[in-house]
Structure 1
């Protein structure tokens, strides 16, 4: 078994971390989430709402608010590096963007979105092992990161690891159950695996 698949398995079969359990027990209304003093508290409240929301449009709004929280590193310098990296990516200056993401991660190694954006760029560049490595960092910092889980599922599907991809989509849907695309992907892989078994 390759080392990156071992890491994937470790992440997917790991028990739910305390942060995820806290999201299940959060009782503060989402409307008051902006008034909560820490980003962690705001995220816990939003994730609790995301898990309970059955309406896909409302869930998308909550997911967008979560993404907004993730974008703020708490450092003006890191935020600026991330903006420059995004611009470099848009203008197809990928090596520049990669360097900027590297700098952001060096300055803020616990900043989840630095790792996530670099994982996305590696994926776009076809560097799947590096992308998977960054995804594992993302999920170690924030196991509820649905974007990273979707990226993991895509890489595993492309590698023909359908059972692991199904597991990644299952984790995604535990966090974000109302996402229609994830439901479709999960269903397609489940049908494919069922067909392979008959």
Structure 2
């Protein structure tokens, strides 16, 4: 039985360990910012003080006289997946989740991975039930206000209503961990992974519990799995390499 974890990990924030989102209703896509120069120029001048620009053959601003405007940039694979938002249909949500995990596993760099991971975290918060979503929103808000008892009661209610909703187990695991009950936390994280085997935050949490308890062999297995799912996750490769060196060193 694990009895304690290091103080350094106990002080991790909700965001670092389990990436708590504050608003359940946040959209999957960021709002488009107003482009510079969208306002009306004064006295025949453009925003930069020069003469107002002319329209090209396309009739779009910004094109040089007599030339069509440049074509719009093609959509990225992530934009294509998210352009219609989160589906209400559970089968379509599952398909979106699978496609996002596939993108995450093949992302080229950390920046691209971060955007995909953020989309997945928002998707995790969508249960398909307005009642469950509302309770989750209140639970997350309570936890952010340091009201862990209230948050725990709300999460227990969510789990009773929707036992197959993985994110409720994930958030409850965090509360157990902060209360120095890693055994209960690990139990909830295993439930998350039974429902969603690629839930990278649950894998990170479970791997860390193993690592802090001195179970390096199981920690290595979990972090190896995590690298397959989220290869660009910040700090994961370093932890994996450290665990591998420790285990290989014992065999010499």
Is residue 2:160 matched to residue 1:112? no
Question: Alignment partner for residue 141 of structure 1, among 189, 195, 209?
Answer: 195
Which one has the bigger helix percentage? 1
- Secondary structure in structure 2 of the residue aligned to 1:67: helix
- Measured in 1, the distance between the counterparts of 2:139 and 2:203 equals 22
Partner of 2:12: none
Is residue 2:147 matched to residue 1:87? no
Unaligned runs of 5+ in 2: 2-76
Is residue 2:80 matched to residue 1:32? yes
Partner of 1:157: 211
- Secondary structure in structure 1 of the residue aligned to 2:231: coil
TM superposition shift of 1:96: 1.2
- Measured in 2, the distance between the counterparts of 1:45 and 1:91 equals 34
TM superposition shift of 1:165: 0.2
- Measured in 1, the distance between the counterparts of 2:145 and 2:103 equals 36
Contact 1:30 1:45 in 2 (8 A): no
Q: Deviations over 1:132-190 (max 9, x none)?
A: 11111100100000000000001101111001000000111111111131111101111
TM superposition shift of 1:54: 2.4
- Measured in 2, the distance between the counterparts of 1:61 and 1:111 equals 23
User: TM-score, normalising length from structure 1?
Assistant: 0.82
TM superposition shift of 1:30: 3.3
Write out the 4+ residue segments of structure 1 that deviate beyond 6 Å after TM superposition.
none
RMSD over equivalenced CA pairs, Å? 1.7
Is residue 2:231 matched to residue 1:177? yes
User: TM-score, normalising length from structure 2?
Assistant: 0.65
Unaligned runs of 5+ in 1: 3-28
- Measured in 2, the distance between the counterparts of 1:43 and 1:93 equals 31
- Secondary structure in structure 2 of the residue aligned to 1:180: coil
